[in-house]
Amino acid sequence: MPQAGLWEEYKVLSDQTLEAVVQCSKCGFCQPTCPTYAVSGLEHEVARGRHQLVRGLVEGRLELDKNLKTALFQCLMCNACYTNCFPKIKTDEIIAEVRNLWIREKGQPALQRYIFHTLLRHPELLGRLLKMASFGKRSGISGLAQVLRCLGWYGKNIANAEGLLESIPKSFLRERLAAQSLIPEKRRGKVAYFVGCGINYAQPDVGYATAQVMNKRGFEVEVIDNYCCGLPAYAYGDLDSVRWFVEKNIRIFSNLQADYIVTDCASCTSFLKEYKRFVPEDSEQQKIVKDFTGRLRDMTTWLYETEDLAEYKTGGNTQTVTLHDPCHLSHYLQEKVAPREVLKNIPAVVYKELAESDFCCGGAGSYNIAHYDVSMKILKRKMAHVKNTGAQVLATACPACIIQISYGVRKFNAPVRIKHVSELVLENSE
Amino acid sequence: MVPKNLLKKLVKICGRENVLYSPTDLYLYEYDASMERGKPDVVVFVTSAQDIQNVVRLAVAENIPYTPRGSATNLAGGSVTPKGGIVIETARMNRILEIDEENGVAVVEPGLYNLQLQNELASRGFVFAPDPASQKVSTLGGNVGMNAGGPHCLKYGVTVNHVLGLEMVLPDGEIARFGGYTQETPGYDIVGFMNGSEGTLGIFTKLFLKMMPAPGGVETLLADFDGIEQAAGAVSAIIAAGIVPATLEYMDQTCIKTVVASLNVDYPTSAAAVLIIEVDGPQWSLAPQVTAIEKILKKLGARVRSARDNTERDALWAGRRGALGAMTRLKPSVVVFDGTVPRNKLPLVLVQIDDIAREYGLFYGTLLHAGDGNIHPIILYDERDEEETQRVHEGCDRIMQLCVNEGGTITGEHGVGIEKIPAMKYLFGEDELEVMKQLKDVFDPQGLCNPGKVLPA
Ligand code: SF4
Ligand code: SF4
């Protein structure tokens, strides 16, 4: 029972969060679907427990201490619980706000501050540093970290995560796309392409395929000069930075002339859809948000909607393909049809369903670095299912999943290649 | 607080990471899905019968209460610890040990989710009949402990009819096995006795469950009525005609309107109530059953629709499955009342529940496993409002008395737990309760096994 008066007085968290937390009826239905619970069985690792912890905090029964921190920071924010929750509680919103409270009361770690306040706000600086890393002697995360002068900050996590990133590309997507024409011969329309950080810096090949496919389907591609969508800052509770990114991007979106706004990072798509939460109601910005989210599509959805323009090769060898649903696509955007239908439509694809396909891979942005051990337990489960399909290719639609599952392939010896849906579509297009 | 040396011994039995006792952790193990709360002193995760045996022996030696816990989805406080002590968490004992298709027996550990077993059996053409609404998350150990029901228990019986044997740690710390692979065990029916014992007579370590061949086919009907009395009356009329449908589910107008508003289902919102009726069996047996049922329904003024294929069947069920969820979105707190009445009393009881709800100002909608008279009024409120909460408690108590007065009982499937202990007195006299107490004493003379449950003190 809540202690009298506390709900009224404890105003550190927003009314929405408080309302969301009381909505949790403790039914426990989130248990089988929560990845952190599935690998631990612990009540503080499941949505029900997390909501009760926040409630305990609000009711003054618990302190904002280390125990609470572990429970709340170990959440993947995958929102599998939301999909399966009767009252539809958005766990990510509660967690983000409590992490924000943590920062406000305990301070923000220096590395996070550096990333969200300096690097991501100055893409040219980030780009320069990453370039240096890519040419440096040491490859992968530790080379990157060395250049970022932050090795000490991540301590032993960085050693654990060694190998997560195989290499840093020598040229980024933006440079590659800037060097060529993106106007198709037969022009049907125009897509404004939102380039996510993961695609730009880590997987330019994916973005390249995305742009090519758009051209092939008759769409001119305008590469948006956007900032980070803000999701990484959101995940660490840095809501001030989120507002900064939101504001910058909205200004850029305000004069986009295009039929569609598309991104091939499911996490970006879903977070762009959340922009309305970060601008005042009835404001000019809100109008811009409404306009651009109306035209916004995840790449998989866009491919599905423009399927009648696809021209696929026929008669070649077939390959078995399975699909991993990125959390931001399946649990945030509730989109499970589009990627499947797109894959099934490719003549050379023999589609095979993956068990627990919408179960998080444990990548979750940089979760795999910050919580390596938990992340690996979750990945192990994913890779076992992947192996069971016997598929030659695993398709997905988010760079964080691609990095994580590719690591899983190396770590758990799974004979499967990882591709973005865009890449598969391109390979099979005439 | 548990003494340090006891903690040490528990760590020795279960391993350091399997013993929890920080204030934050204990706070998280003081609840289940009911309104009850009670803080344990320590939580241990067990992975084998030997672990449980060792923990129970230790508890007995130190005179400390202990309580088994699975998914803690209990709706009456069954896994809450009002007297503190050790919580024995069995969720990690979740293996399927054996599937014996020839003898139709599945041997499983108690922490396995009901649905996980169903999925495994489905791939082999079998079913485990008990299918409680919580089957995705409730454990089989809990299902047996509560003698759970579900839509299909109308035709196939409740959990007890599908348990062939049990292995368990008794409160004296011995591991015993009753029954097993055969349909019948001589001597007293201990297996039957343990079903619904709510973890007060020992802790299950292995369950021997009956597998049935999956039915050849199903037909699903949706009937809507202008009055709740006609809908409720149809239930007994169907069964009186000698037809036993596989399921016979009832939803009232509040539930219908709520699911239609929040889910994409096509139920008539003007109806006072709908029945979802499913018959199963060999293909040849379906059509005659459907014709007979339709005749009865139409005579009572119902409009009837039937599902032509699996997609339509899923669509008809979607509303029923999503009903509780959709309802809980309306207000922060929920009580899923659970009682039973004789089928033929349903029309009368439903009208009286409505009167009680009006008297106490309760906001509610009703779901019924109508075939076996199991009623689930879903009462919504805000537990931060103490006055409203009090009214909900009192209203539920009145509904419980109503069920008993009409020849029914105080729980259909959720168990007595803590919440319904006071209501045991409505149902049983002194002598009957005394017999139960003596039986409990035979098994658990020290009273350490899940104390504070089922029986009035
Ligand atoms: S967001 Fe994911 S990890 Fe977090 S509680 Fe929900 S299901 Fe579990
Ligand atoms: S499913 Fe939703 S309401 Fe139920 S316990 Fe989990 S978070 Fe709470």
Across A377-386, average pLDDT: 95
Which pLDDT does position A140 carry in this prediction?
56
- Tell me the domains of chain A and their CATH numbers: 6-106 (1.10.1060.10), 110-164 (no CATH), 173-304 (3.40.50), 310-427 (3.40.50)
Angle at A223 between CA A218 and CA A225, to 5 degrees: 165
Domain edge (last residue) among B184, B213, B242: B213
Which pLDDT does position A171 carry in this prediction?
86
* Per-residue confidence band for A3, with pLDDT thresholds at 50, 70 and 90: very low
Amino acid identity of A110? Answer: A
Task: Tell me if A32 and B137 make a contact (CB, 8 A cut-off).
Answer: yes
Q: Which residue has the least CA distance to atom 7 on ligand 1?
A: A34
Across B257-269, average pLDDT: 87
Say if residue B200's pLDDT is above 90: yes
Q: What is the CATH number of the domain that holds B147?
A: 3.30.465.10
Say if residue B381's pLDDT is above 50: yes
Task: Tell me if A25 and B23 make a contact (CB, 8 A cut-off).
Answer: no
Residues B171, B103 share a domain: yes
Give Cα B20 to chain centroid, integer Å: 28
Residue A75 Cβ contacting ligand 1 at under 6 Å: yes
Higher pLDDT, B265 or A276: A276
Span A65-107, pLDDT tens digits: 888 888 889 999 999 999 988 889 999 999 999 999 999 989 9
Taking residue A388's Cβ as centre, other Cβ atoms within 10 Å add up to 12
Q: Give the long-range contacts of residues B283-292, CB within 8 A, separation 24 or more.
A: B283/B216, B283/B217, B286/B217, B286/B218, B286/B219, B287/B219, B289/B219, B289/B243, B289/B245, B290/B219, B290/B221, B292/B241, B292/B243
* C-alpha distance from residue B245 to each of B142, B230, B258 (Å): 26, 18, 26
Which pLDDT does position A6 carry in this prediction?
45
**Which residues constitute the domain of residue B241?**
217-325
Nearest-angstrom CA–CA distance, B407 and B277: 25
Q: Which stretch of A1-5, A368-372, B160-164 has the lowest confidence by average pLDDT?
A: A1-5
Is residue B263 within 8 angstroms of chain A, CB to CB?
no
Residue A35 Cβ contacting ligand 1 at under 6 Å: yes
Question: Any residues with CB less than 8 A from the CB of A72 and at least 6 apart, and which?
Answer: A50, A53, A54, A95, A98, A99, A102
Beta strands at B42-45 and B86-89: parallel, antiparallel or unpaired: parallel
Task: Tell if the pTM clears 0.90, that is, is over it.
Answer: yes
Say if residue A16's pLDDT is above 90: no
Residues B77, B110 share a domain: no
Burial B422-452 (b: 16+ CB within 10 A, else e): ebbebbbeeeeeeeeeeebeebbeebbbbbb
Highest mean pLDDT among A132-136, A340-344, A367-371, B20-24: A340-344
Domain edge (last residue) among B213, B246, B278: B213
Which pLDDT does position B87 carry in this prediction?
98
Residues B63, B29 share a domain: yes
Which pLDDT does position A160 carry in this prediction?
64
Residue A380's region, left for phi above 0, alpha for psi from -120 to 50, else beta, is alpha
Burial A34-53 (b: 16+ CB within 10 A, else e): bbbbbbbbbbbbbbbbbbbb
Nearest-angstrom CA–CA distance, B113 and B91: 9
Residue B240 lies in a domain: yes
Residues B243, B147 share a domain: no
Say if residue B125's pLDDT is above 70: yes
Indicate the SS3 state at residue B388.
helix
Say if residue A130's pLDDT is above 70: yes
Residue B455 lies in a domain: no
Task: Tell me if B32 and A28 make a contact (CB, 8 A cut-off).
Answer: yes
Evaluated on CA atoms B110, B116, B119, B120, the torsion sign reads: negative
Which pLDDT does position A142 carry in this prediction?
62
Residues B367, B296 share a domain: no
Taking residue B329's Cβ as centre, other Cβ atoms within 10 Å add up to 18
Percent of chain A with pLDDT over 90: 65
Residues B205, B106 share a domain: yes
Across B304-326, average pLDDT: 87
Distance A103 CA to ligand 1 centre (A): 21
**Two tokens at A50?**
């997390």
Span A32-72, pLDDT tens digits: 999 999 999 999 999 999 999 999 988 888 888 888 888 88
Q: Which residue has the least CA distance to atom 8 on ligand 1?
A: A34
Nearest-angstrom CA–CA distance, A209 and B215: 50
Phi/psi at B73 (nearest 5 deg)? -105, 15
Across A327-354, average pLDDT: 96
Taking residue A266's Cβ as centre, other Cβ atoms within 10 Å add up to 30
Domain edge (last residue) among B309, B325, B341: B325
* Per-residue confidence band for A161, with pLDDT thresholds at 50, 70 and 90: low
Say if residue B57's pLDDT is above 80: yes
How many beta-carbon contacts under 8 Å exist across A and B? 82
Question: Which residues from A are below 8 Å from B when comparing CB atoms?
Answer: 1-2, 7, 19, 22-23, 25-29, 31-32, 41-44, 49, 52-53, 56, 61-62, 65, 67-68, 71, 86-88
Nearest-angstrom CA–CA distance, A375 and B257: 42
Span A342-370, pLDDT tens digits: 999 999 999 999 999 999 999 887 788 88
Q: What is the CATH number of the domain that holds B18?
A: 3.30.43.10
- Give the residue from B232, B216, B244 showing the smallest Cα distance to B346: B232
Question: Any residues with CB less than 8 A from the CB of B130 and at least 6 apart, and which?
Answer: B114, B143, B148, B149, B150, B152, B153, B156, B158, B159, B162
- Are A408 and A430 spatial neighbours (Cβ–Cβ below 8 Å)? no
Q: What is the CATH number of the domain that holds B245?
A: 3.30.70.2190
Span A203-216, pLDDT tens digits: 999 999 999 999 99
Evaluated on CA atoms A231, A234, A240, A241, the torsion sign reads: negative
Which pLDDT does position B219 carry in this prediction?
94
